[in-house]
Amino acid sequence: MRQLTKAEEDIMQVLWQLKKANVKQILEQLDNPKPAYNTVSTIVRILESKGFVDYEKKGKGHIYFPLLKKQDYSNQSINKLVDNYFQGSFKSMVSFFMKNNDISLNELESVLKDINSEVPLKKE
């Protein structure tokens, strides 16, 4: 799966949130300073050519929708981050974030409770 540029990811975040939108609706959701309408339109067409979005015709315009689930892209991005910066070790990544972001033991325990409630932990 290809990596999104920052501009493409901004558009995808809006589409993941809205589910379906035309260029004007996407533009309305972007932070200031807002890009030009034509810029957003071009990025959406690039996302379409890359297979990230598709559209349905509505009147003279298009309504765009994501073909890729946010969670699937997030998983791929996190795995790439872990592989490229932490030699494939999630343990190293968590340790790095704990040390460099001043995460408290209580916050870590809370995260572990959330994880345990959804997925049983693997024993090493």
Is the distance from CB of 15 to CB of 50 less than 8 angstroms? no
Token pair in block for residue 40? 């957003």
- Going by CATH, does the domain composed of 70-118 fall within 3.30.450? no
Tell me the domain boundaries of the chain.
Answer: 6-66, 70-118
Is the distance from CB of 29 to CB of 70 less than 8 angstroms? no
pLDDT in tens, 12-34: 999 999 999 999 999 999 999 99
At the second CATH level, the architecture of 6-66 is Orthogonal Bundle (1.10)
Query: Which pTM does this prediction carry?
Result: 0.75
Residue 116 has pLDDT above 90, yes or no: no
Residue 20's closest CA among 54, 61, 51? 54
Report the C-alpha gap between 76 and 69 in whole angstroms: 11
Token pair in block for residue 68? 């890729």
pLDDT in tens, 36-77: 999 999 999 999 999 999 999 999 999 999 999 999 999 988
CA neighbours closer than 13 Å in the CB half-sphere of residue 117: 6
